[in-house]
Amino acid sequence: MTASFTILAAITVAGMAAAMGLRNAVHCVLALTVGFAGIAALYLQLGAQFVGFTQVLVYVGAVAILAVFAIMMTQSRPSATPAPRAPLWAAGGAVAAAVFAVLAWAIHSNALSVQALPPQPEAAPSATVQQIGDALMHRFVLPLEIVGLLLTAALIGAVVIAMGRREEMK
Amino acid sequence: MTQTLDQIFVLAKHWLLGFLPAAIQPFCSALLSVVAIILVFATLFAITTWLERKGLGRMQNRLGPNRVGPCGLLQPLADGIKSLTKEDIVPAAADHAVHFMAPVLLVAASFLGYAVLPIGRNMVLTNLNAGVLYFFAVGSLMELAVFMAGWSSRSKYSLLGAMRAIAQMISYEVPLVLASIVVILHTGSLSTVAIVDRQAVYTGIWPHWFVFTPWGLAGFVLFMVAATAESNRSPFDLPEGESEIIAGYYIEYSGFKFALFFLGEYIGMFATSAMAITLFLGGWAAPFSFLTWVPSYLWFFAKLLAIISAFIWVRGTLPRLRMDQLMNLAWQFMLPMTLINLLAAGVWQFMPAGVARWPVCAAIVAVPFLLLARGLKQKRKFQLRTYRFSQ
Amino acid sequence: MNPLQGYLLLSALLFSIGLAGALLRRNAILVLIGIELMLNAANLNFIAFWRYGPVPAALTGIMFTIFSIAVAAAEAAVGLAIILAAYRHSRTTDLDRMDSLKG
């Protein structure tokens, strides 16, 4: 439990909570990018450099931008999104709180046998780009190809869905 | 002697750090490097604004700034004082917090990329294992800053400018990354230091710069075109097209915040140019083996100034594109060409070293280029333009 | 507390925040963002288990996270495209008002 972890965790949780709680949808996405950047910093702290930078590239650079574009296209006026109704608010909050309580209990009561893990060296295990590339090209080559296919399909599918029919575009 | 001259800044930093207690040395070392980078590139920004105004003036048959200082050299200083003393106007309807944060984020994001750029031998802030990936990751933060600026101003011109800018930056980021991948394919490393080290070797007097290979040359040209679009410079300066949307996403900014946008844009341009130098032009390596006695950082800045001059030249020469031309160039020409270039680099990698792979790889790049250019040209027929919105 | 437990707790908290957002928000885009958040919380778990797990050399956690990021990006693109198509049809992104089955 180091100071850097506490600070990063606080930033991440604050960003994510603001992303889910703010009224203005664009503010939500901007807060979300803070949360994503916080998660990327946590990855760096854990020694996963490649994943951290990928996180920034994909989530901050692509997903967040995509989300604000979608908000721009669907909201003609910069109006605040309506707040949920009170009973719904209570029920949803209760479900989320219950999920967190169960997970926290599981983590604390060693139900996941966390303590049984071998003692760890302080230095992070190495995951250089070289090692990741080797693993992607040998052990994980089939998933890699499938993900490539999936991304192509998603790209074409997203364009087709978002473009709509020709007559509608007028 | 040449060794000392080459490493003089590194030695100076170590000498300065010697006075400090060991506990804060790593922190102070990083701080010193960061301050040095910011100062040097901010000065370069000042010089570039002068150079650009002078050069554009000459190309347009006028003198350019010539009132402040000798040859107008103190003009950037005057501009800085002017922008500092101007009133900072924020639109009443603007989203104040976001409006304030946008220029700050833009400048911060544009400076972040310099952390992995090797300016000279042993002169790099951090030698990250995934350096090139880091560079493109922080580059994508600039899109967010542009969006924040355009959206928070609550002005239709700035919003349109931001939309254009983001669409352009996202479209050209794809060829930018794909064009640089050929270098990574060849070096087998994402570390910028390793990439430069691979190029700083010589056969006879000739260096092993990647630009001197068929795929490297094509990659360099594609990278530079994409970099021009990425930094919103002419002929791709639609986001700030004065005749269409006045000044684009920073129209509602005034005074020092406007200057910050200006700074961020130029710093970002220097960063992508420096990345092009690192990837294709040998970084700090000398162009001939008998010139290696010249300090490495001088070569780096000479190359950077050459690229900046080319940017100014292009800006003075080419007219602005239309939006559909811009998008067609990115998706119909740049993207296929970068993919073909990737194929050429792969063939180069697996062919035996010798003379044979030169014509083969050159043909792999050149033939599709000619076919693609001809195909795109034939498709474009001149037709009567209808102006739907102006009637 | 074990450092791994800290990460797991943080991830559980983020997952709950994302779940609350996905359940409570009425804007379809924000619901999608809540789902992205839950995915991110799971990714954090994978990286934490890789870091403190018994065989970090196998890189399984990192690989899983990389693939998960790729799939999540595809999911976000298709999801937002569907929201745009639905918006064109019903002129709203409010999930409570997208309640007619008839096209």
Residue B264 contacts residue B185 (beta carbons within 8 Å) = no
Contact B143 A129 (CB under 8 A): no
Of these ranges, A20-29, A125-134, B132-141, the one predicted with the greatest mean pLDDT is B132-141
- Contacting chains of B (3 CB pairs or more, <8 Å) are A
User: What whole-number distance in Å separates Cα of residue B237 and Cα of residue C58?
Assistant: 47
pLDDT digits (tens, 9 = 90+) for A68-83: 888 887 775 545 555 5
Q: How far is C93 from chain A (nearest CA, A)?
A: 7
User: What whole-number distance in Å separates Cα of residue C91 and Cα of residue B356?
Assistant: 61
Q: Which of C84, C99, C98, C78 is nearest to C35 (CA)?
A: C78
Window C:44-73, CB contacts with A under 8 Å? 44, 47-48, 50-54, 56-57, 59, 62-63, 65-67, 69-73
Contact A33 B140 (CB under 8 A): no
| Chain A contacts to B (CB-CB under 8 A) | 26-27, 30, 33, 49-50, 53-54, 56-57, 60-62, 64-65, 68-69, 72, 78, 128-130
* Chain A interface disruption, residue of B99, B134, B327, most A CBs within 10 A: B134
pLDDT digits (tens, 9 = 90+) for B45-70: 989 999 988 888 888 888 888 888 78
**In chain A, which residues have their Cβ closer than 8 Å to the Cβ of C70?**
58, 147, 150-151
User: What whole-number distance in Å separates Cα of residue A21 and Cα of residue C29?
Assistant: 14
Contact A128 B129 (CB under 8 A): yes
pLDDT value of residue C40: 92
Nearby residues of B358 by Cβ (< 8 Å), 6 or more positions away: B214
Window A:20-79, CB contacts with C under 8 Å? 20-21, 25, 28-29, 32, 35-36, 39, 42-43, 46-48, 50-51, 54-55, 58-59, 62-63, 66-67, 69-71, 73-75
User: What whole-number distance in Å separates Cα of residue B170 and Cα of residue C4?
Assistant: 37
pLDDT digits (tens, 9 = 90+) for B216-229: 899 999 999 999 98
Instruction: Give the residue, C38 or A90, on which the prediction is more confident.
Output: C38
Nearby residues of B148 by Cβ (< 8 Å), 6 or more positions away: A30, B98, B99, B101, B102, B105
- Which member of C12, C14, C29 has the closest CB to residue A104? C12
For every residue of chain A, DSSP letters joined together read --HHHHHHHHHHHHHHHHHHH-SSHHHHHHHHHHHHHHHHHHHHHTT-HHHHHHHIIIIIIIIHHHHHHHHHHH-SS-PPPPPPPHHHHHHHHHHHHHHHHHHHHHHHTTTT--TTSPPPPSSPPP--HHHHHHHHHTTTHHHHHHHHHHHHHHHHHHHHHHH--TGGG-
Contact C21 A58 (CB under 8 A): no
User: What whole-number distance in Å separates Cα of residue A40 and Cα of residue B350?
Assistant: 36
3-state secondary structure of B18: coil
Token representation of residue C7: 């990460």
Contact A74 C83 (CB under 8 A): yes
**How buried is B23 (Cβ within 10 angstroms: 0-12 exposed, 13-18 middle, 19+ buried)?**
exposed
Q: Which of C70, C84, C35 is nearest to A160 (CA)?
A: C84
State how far Cα B225 lies from the chain centre: 10
**In chain A, which residues have their Cβ closer than 8 Å to the Cβ of B148?**
30
Residue B329 contacts residue B321 (beta carbons within 8 Å) = yes
* Chain A interface disruption, residue of C4, C19, C24, most A CBs within 10 A: C24
pLDDT value of residue B158: 84
Nearest Cα residue in chain A from C13: A100
Residue A117 contacts residue C49 (beta carbons within 8 Å) = no
3-state secondary structure of B207: strand
pLDDT digits (tens, 9 = 90+) for A85-138: 667 778 888 888 888 888 888 887 765 555 556 555 566 677 788 888 888 888
Kindly report the backbone phi and psi dihedral angles of residue A150, in degrees, each rounded to the nearest multiple of 5, phi listed first: -60, -45
pLDDT value of residue C65: 92
Q: At what angle do helices A141-163 and C60-90 cross, to 10 degrees?
A: 10
**In chain C, which residues have their Cβ closer than 8 Å to the Cβ of A118?**
54
> What percentage of chain A reaches a pLDDT higher than 90?
17
ipTM here: 0.87
Nearest Cα residue in chain A from B152: A26
pLDDT digits (tens, 9 = 90+) for B253-307: 888 888 888 888 899 999 999 999 999 988 888 888 888 888 888 888 999 999 9
Q: Which of B362, B31, A104 is nearest to C1 (CA)?
A: A104
* A122 in C contact zone (CB under 8 Å): no
User: What whole-number distance in Å separates Cα of residue B300 and Cα of residue A119?
Assistant: 47
Q: How far is A163 from chain C (nearest CA, A)?
A: 8
**In chain B, which residues have their Cβ closer than 8 Å to the Cβ of A35?**
none
Instruction: Give the residue, B240 or A65, on which the prediction is more confident.
Output: A65
**In chain A, which residues have their Cβ closer than 8 Å to the Cβ of B138?**
56
Q: How far is A145 from chain C (nearest CA, A)?
A: 11
Q: Which of A42, B263, A67, A125 is nearest to C59 (CA)?
A: A125
Contact B130 A129 (CB under 8 A): yes
pLDDT digits (tens, 9 = 90+) for B73-123: 888 888 888 888 888 888 888 888 888 888 999 999 899 889 888 888 888
State how far Cα C34 lies from the chain centre: 6
Chain B meets chain C (3+ C-beta pairs below 8 A): no
pLDDT value of residue B385: 63
Q: Is the peptide bond before B235 cis (omega within 30 degrees of 0)?
A: yes
pLDDT band at A170 (very low <50, low <70, confident <90, very high): very low
* A90 in C contact zone (CB under 8 Å): no
* B104 in A contact zone (CB under 8 Å): no
Task: Give me the mean pLDDT over the C38-64 stretch.
Answer: 86
Task: Give me the mean pLDDT over the B201-207 stretch.
Answer: 84
Task: Give me the mean pLDDT over the B128-143 stretch.
Answer: 88
